[in-house]
Amino acid sequence: MDTGSRTAEPEGRLQRQLDAAQKITHIGSWEWEVDSVRLTWSDELYHIYGEEPRAREPTFEWCLSRVHPDDRERVRSDLVASIERGGRFAHRVRILRADGAVREIDTLGEVIRDAGGVIRLVGTCRDITDERRYGDTLRLFANVVDHMQIGISVWRFGESGDPASLCLVACNPAIDVVGISLADAVGQRMAELFPAVMTTELPRLLASVAEAGGVRELASYRFPHAVNRTFSVKAFALPDRSIGLALEDVTDRERAVQMQAGERAALEMLASGAPLTEILTALVQFLEELAPETLASILLIDETGQRLRHGAGPSLPAAFNAAVDGALIGPDAGSCGTAAFRREPVYVADVETDPLWERYRELARAHGLRACWSTPILATDGSVLGTFALYSATSCMPDDQVVELLGRATHVAGIAIERHRLDDQLRALSERIEATREDERTGIAREIHDELGQSLTVLKMDIAWIGRRLGDVEAIRAKLDEMSHTADEIIGAVRRISAELRPGILDDLGLAAAIEWQAEEFAERTGIACEMNASVGHERFERGLATAVFRIFQEALTNVARHADASRVIVDLRVIDGRVELDVGDDGMGLPESVVMRPSLGLLGMRERARRLGGECRVRRREPCGTVVSLVLPLRPRPPA
């Protein structure tokens, strides 16, 4: 066998291995004979430059032309300096391929000398473009993860797969939102870092993701050691028994949504006519839910504008509410009195040391109250309506979120109070108009009954006197009889009109007698049987109250006559527990659905009369048929005679 062939075979194999290694590592080799312009390139170096191997003879000037224009002069200078200095050299350079692509390469080389000087340069070029881009991408994502406001942590299960074996692998700085720094906790178990968490749903969530993969989340989660903060939790599977955990603090967002819901609920209560106390109590309770470990209170300014009266404070001790009810406002009247006096928020971090609480310090201490933050409730014209306050059992100042919540709740409370005051004014005005109208009716009824009735009676007596003196003149006597009958009809009409304007029996004999009389008159006029049941004893009702009950009763009978097609009416009048109650039921066709949904003006008028007096008038279907009008009014004291 030829020895040369045996030698060439290993050399060829080595060359193939070298070419493969260069291709895998993206490293090309080169050699430059300095005395000539000839360069020798490996196949991989041709590939790095975007050329087919040995498609051209590379020269130094051609290679330099492929260097990026911004790097070209630097490369020329580096090579000259390296040749002069000798030894090894390195530089990073960008090259331009024929297709316009830019590649970044690291060049390592060495200057070879002999006794006569530099004879050649040898070296390698490594294409680091993809590696550099990958590194840049990694650094970019690392930078994003480090600076994002979402806490990211990686936990790894032990061989057992038990949540108790979860260990922290890595985390970003934002993970400190959980309230515990984890920067130096890598390698520690979750059970050691958050022992109370192990009994919550979070470890079970991580275990389910480890078993089934994918992404799972908890929309709202609170760590046992940070119950004032709410987190959105997402868990996602990672390789090597690891789980990624993303925590986003959604406390402010959740509070905003809850606050909007609370505001909407309070305004809906206001629109539906709910009592002011119920609206303010709902606001107070809602704010306490959003600001845990606080107690809320609303005080209302009185008619004098000098004192604060209890409005709402269901969570505060009753003794404390009673003690501050009627407190004077002033420059040193605690948080609330001072806030009302200054017309600006007053936040006291420690009532034990703040001079504003000098007069109320013992009271606060007795009930375990240490801090009080109060803001005035102002009307649209700037006048003070009251104060909204939060109390804390610890000495502290409110954070920005609590200040914002208190401000928004105060605004809604102002709307409710101002609307209620306006309603009170409108009711008072309406009541005054109604009272004036009743007085006018009473006066007109009295004049019609007394003056016109008396005149007609005298006229009838005169007609009778003439008749007695005419003797047997039948025609004249018949005419006089006709005139006497007409006079009787006019007198009856006068009495009826007078009674309709203001029945004298209401003022003379009282409400029960007036309703009984009206029921008898209704039965006689319509033919509808009317059963009356009254259990009011000797109660004498205040004039405005009696008038309202009687007018609502009249309107109820009118509706029966017009719409019910009834044959029987049952009336119940009673006094129970400081209330007068009236039920008017019929056996007619009942209320149409349209009337239930959109009451007529008559029904609205009945409800408004009742509301003006602090009561309620409801109309409902009666079983098995018919309608019931139910009226409930609180008794009012009669003015002294």
Closest CA to 363 of 331, 406, 316: 316
User: Contact 511/549 with Cβ under 8 angstroms?
Assistant: yes
Pick the more confident residue, 487 or 190: 190
Closest CA to 39 of 50, 26, 28: 28
Rounded CA separation 509/342 (Å):
55
pLDDT at res. 220: 87
Name the H helices within 560-637.
593-597, 601-612
* Range 617-641 average pLDDT: 84
pLDDT at res. 260: 86
Burial tier of 262 (Cβ tally within 10 Å: 0-12, 13-18, 19+): buried
Pick the more confident residue, 148 or 296: 296
Say if residue 34's pLDDT is above 80: no
Tokens 């018919």 — which residue?
A: 626
pLDDT at res. 38: 75
Instruction: Name the band, by pLDDT with cuts 50, 70 and 90, for residue 500.
Output: low
Q: Cα separations (Å) of 635 from 135, 471, 516, 548? A: 85, 63, 20, 12
Rounded CA separation 340/69 (Å):
75
* Whether the predicted model's global pTM rises above the 0.85 cut: no
Mean of the per-residue pLDDT values for the chain? 84
- Domains, the chain, in order of start with CATH, read 16-131 (3.30.450.20), 148-249 (3.30.450.20), 255-408 (3.30.450.40), 505-634 (3.30.565.10)
Instruction: Name the band, by pLDDT with cuts 50, 70 and 90, for residue 386.
Output: very high
pLDDT at res. 1: 45
Closest CA to 587 of 557, 559, 567: 567
Q: Residue 404 in 3-state DSSP?
A: helix
User: Contact 152/174 with Cβ under 8 angstroms?
Assistant: yes
Instruction: Name the band, by pLDDT with cuts 50, 70 and 90, for residue 247.
Output: confident
Closest CA to 276 of 617, 614, 618: 614
Condensed to tens digits (0 to 9), the pLDDT of residues 48-75 reads 999 998 888 888 888 889 999 999 999 8
Rounded CA separation 278/312 (Å):
8
Condensed to tens digits (0 to 9), the pLDDT of residues 411-442 reads 999 999 988 888 777 776 666 666 666 666 66
Token pair in block for residue 485: 């009958």
Sign of CA dihedral 113, 114, 115, 119: negative
Sign of CA dihedral 77, 79, 81, 84: negative
Condensed to tens digits (0 to 9), the pLDDT of residues 159-177 reads 888 888 999 988 887 777 6
* Range 577-602 average pLDDT: 77
